[in-house]
Amino acid sequence: MNMVLDATPVPFVNPFTQAVDMMPLDMVNAYMPYASHLRLEEAAKVAAILDNEAANNLLLSITQVDLFVPIPEGARDELSVEPMALR
């Protein structure tokens, strides 16, 4: 099954930078699925805020887990990727 995403750019004034920015229409619809009562520019502004909040929440969850503490010797490190073995 192939999905076709609508990449139509939605111009809006970014609430963080106050500059004109573009966001794909599908991204606006993903963050604001029930915003048909809003104009596209308003929905894009709200989607940008929600996207920024999601990024901040992800960053907070990373710092709350304390990923930056060294792994004790002999403990399993689930974040590192082992290099592939050459045969």
Confidence category of residue 12, pLDDT binned at 50, 70, 90: confident
pLDDT (tens digit per residue) in 50-78: 888 887 777 777 665 565 667 677 666 55
| pTM for the structure as a whole | 0.56
Of 43, 54, 57, 39, the closest CA to residue 15 belongs to: 43
* Residue with the larger pLDDT of the pair 36 and 4: 36
- Measured CA distances, 65 to 49, 55, 69, 83 (Å): 24, 16, 9, 25
**pLDDT in the model for residue 7:** 76
* Residue with the larger pLDDT of the pair 1 and 76: 76
* Residue with the larger pLDDT of the pair 12 and 6: 12
The beta strands (E) that lie in the chain are given as 9-13, 20-24
10: burial class by Cβ within 10 Å (0-12, 13-18, 19+)? buried
